[in-house]
Amino acid sequence: MSFLIAVLSFAVAIGVLVVVHEYGHYSVARLCGVKVLRFSIGFGQPLFSWRSKSGTEWSVAPIPLGGYVKMLDERESERTIAPEDLPFAFNRKSVGRRFAIVLAGPLANFLLAIVLFGALYATGVKEPVAQLGAPAVGTVAARAGFVGGETVVSLRDPDDGKEQAVRSWGDLRWKLVDAALAHRHLVVRATSGKQTFEIPVDLSHVQASEVDDNLLDRLGFMPGGVKAIVETVEPGTPAAAAGLREGDKLVGIDGHTVTDVNDFITQVQSRPGQTLALQIDRAGQLLTVPVLAKPASVEVEGVQKTVGRIGAALGGQMPTVEVRYDPVEALRLGVRRTWDISAFSVRMFGKMIVGEASLKNLSGPVTIADYAGRSASLGLASFISFLALVSISLGVLNLLPIPILDGGHLLYYSVEAVTGKAVPERWQMILQRAGIVCILVLSAIALFNDLARLIHS
C-alpha cells in the first residue's frame, strides 16, 4: 500500500509541477504573439491528444518525467512555414520577448510555491513544537548548555541585533541550517517551565560539507517532547525478558526522569552491559523493571562503536502547535519562504560544485517518490508543503546556466542582448552536447544516491 501511495503521489506531484511550468511558457508565448504548436505532458508518442481553436495540440504522453511546449520556429521546422505565419515564429521575436517566454516557466514554479505556502499559512497548519530533546555529550548544543526540554522561541544575530521568531520545529530547523551555512553566531532565546533565558550558540566552525540531513543531529539539536512509549518488543531480547509490554510509558531510568524518547535512547546507548532500573507507567500504575542494556556494535560515521540496546521499538507523537496568519501576512511569508529556500538551494548547489558540500545532497526520482508518499500519508498539508519545496527545486534547477535547460537559453539571450548578435549555432550545438553530458552526470549521481539510501534504509 505504501508503495502504491508513493507512486500515485509522485505522479500527482510531477503532473502538477510540469503543467504549471509548461503553462508558464505557454501563456507568455501567447501574450508575446508566438504560435504554440504543441503542449505536451510527458514524453514519447502521445497516449491521447486534442486540438484547441488556437491550433495548439494538447497531448499526454507515457513517460511522466517532464513535458514541453513546442513553438513555431523556423530553425526547427521540418517544412516551409507559410508566409502569413512567419510573424508568429519564436525566432522572429525580439530578444526581450524570447527571454520572457523562457523565464516564465521557472517563475511559474516559484509562483506556485508562493501560493501553496501562502495557503498553508493562511488556513493554519499543525507543526511540531520547537522543543529540544536531550543533546548528546560533546555536541554543540550540549556545550552551549542545553539539557533537553527547552522550547525555542526566537533566534538573534548578535552582530546586527536582528531577532527572528521561531514558531515551530520546522522553522527552527531551517533557521539553524541557514545559520550554519553562513557560519554565524546565534543567541537562542528559550523557555523551560516558567523560566526564560538566552544561550549563545557558535555555528561558525560548521563546514559546508557537513550540511546534510543529519546536521542537526550532529549539532545536538534534536526534537524533544515525544514521550517514550513501547510500540513493539522483540522476542528473545532483554526487553522481552524484563516483561516490557506494548503501550508501556518509560518515564525514568535509575530514578532520573526521562524527558522524551531521544533522552531514553541516549541513556540506554551510553550504558552498554549495565542493568538499568526502568520506571514505567503501565495503564496508570508506576512500576520499576530491571533490564539489561545489551552491548551491540554499530557504525557511526565510519567508526565502530559499542552501544547499549534493550530490544524494544519506541514511538510517540510530538506535541504540535497550529501556525496561522492573516491572508496578507501569509502571502508575504510565502514569498519570503520561497526566496529563502531558493537562495539556500543556489548556495548549496554552488558549494557542491566547488567541493565544499557533499554530492550526497542530490536526490533523484526514487527519493522524491519516497518523500511524496511519506508526505501524502501525513496529510494534505504535508503533501502541499512537499509540493511547494519540489516546485522551488524545479524552478532553481531550470535557471542553472546549463545548455539544454531554461537557464542555458537565458544565457544565450543575455549574450545576444549585450553584443547585439546571437550566439552562433555551431557554438550552441557544442554547448548543447556539453549540457546533455552535465545533466546525465547529475542524474547518475542522483540515482546513485537514491539507490544508496534504499540499500541503507
186, 254: one domain: no
Note if 163 is an active site residue.
no
Q: Report DSSP letters for 281-345, one per residue.
A: EETTEEEEEEEE-EEEEEEETTEEEEEEE-SEEEE----EEEE---HHHHHHHHHHHHHHHHHHH
Which residue has cell 539539557?
147
The pLDDT, as a whole number, for residue 363 is: 67
Whether residues 242 and 181 fall in one domain: no
Compute the CA torsion angle 114, 115, 119, 120 (nearest 10 deg): -40
CB 170 within 8 A of CB 184: no
Which structural domain range is residue 178 located in? 140-219
* Ordered mean pLDDT values, 10 residues apiece, the chain (457 residues): 70 86 95 93 88 89 85 79 86 93 96 94 84 83 86 89 85 84 88 88 79 76 83 90 90 84 84 91 90 79 79 79 84 87 81 69 63 68 86 90 89 91 86 83 74 62
**206 & 249 share domain:** no
270 and 209 housed in the same domain: no
Q: Identify the pLDDT of residue 162.
A: 85
What pLDDT does 357 receive? 64
Residue 236 lies in a domain: yes
Q: Are residues 205 and 283 in the same domain?
A: no
Judge whether 151 lies within some domain: yes
**Inside any domain, residue 173:** yes
Q: What are phi and psi of 177, to 5 degrees?
A: -65, -45
Domain identity same for 211 and 247: no
Domain membership flag for residue 9: no
Residues 203 and 244 in one domain: no
Same domain, 258 and 234: yes
- Please check whether residue 401 lies inside any domain of the structure: no
Is the pTM higher than 0.85? The answer reads no
Residues sharing a CB contact under 8 Å with residue 358, sequence separation 6 or more, in sequence order: 209, 212, 352
Residue 95 lies in a domain: no
List all residues 6 or more positions away from 399 whose beta carbon is below 8 Å from its beta carbon. Answer: 106, 405, 406, 407, 410
Domain boundary among 195, 219, 243: 219
Pair 250, 213 in one domain? no
Do both 258 and 281 map to the same domain?
Answer: yes
Number of H helices, E strands in the chain: 12, 18
Predicted confidence at residue 378, as pLDDT, reads 67
Number of independent structural domains in the chain: 2
Torsional sign, CA 6, 9, 12, 15: negative
| The last residue of a domain, from among 315, 347, 364 | 315
190 & 213 share domain: yes
The CATH number linked to 193 is 2.30.42.10
Residue 321 lies in a domain: no
Judge if 196 and 252 occupy the same domain.
Answer: no
- The backbone region for 236, taken as left when phi is positive above 0, alpha when psi lies in -120 to 50, beta otherwise, is left
224 in any annotated domain: no
Among residues 22, 198, 246, 299, which one is catalytic? 22
Pairing of strands 48-51, 63-71: unpaired
Identify the domain boundary among 315, 347, 374.
315
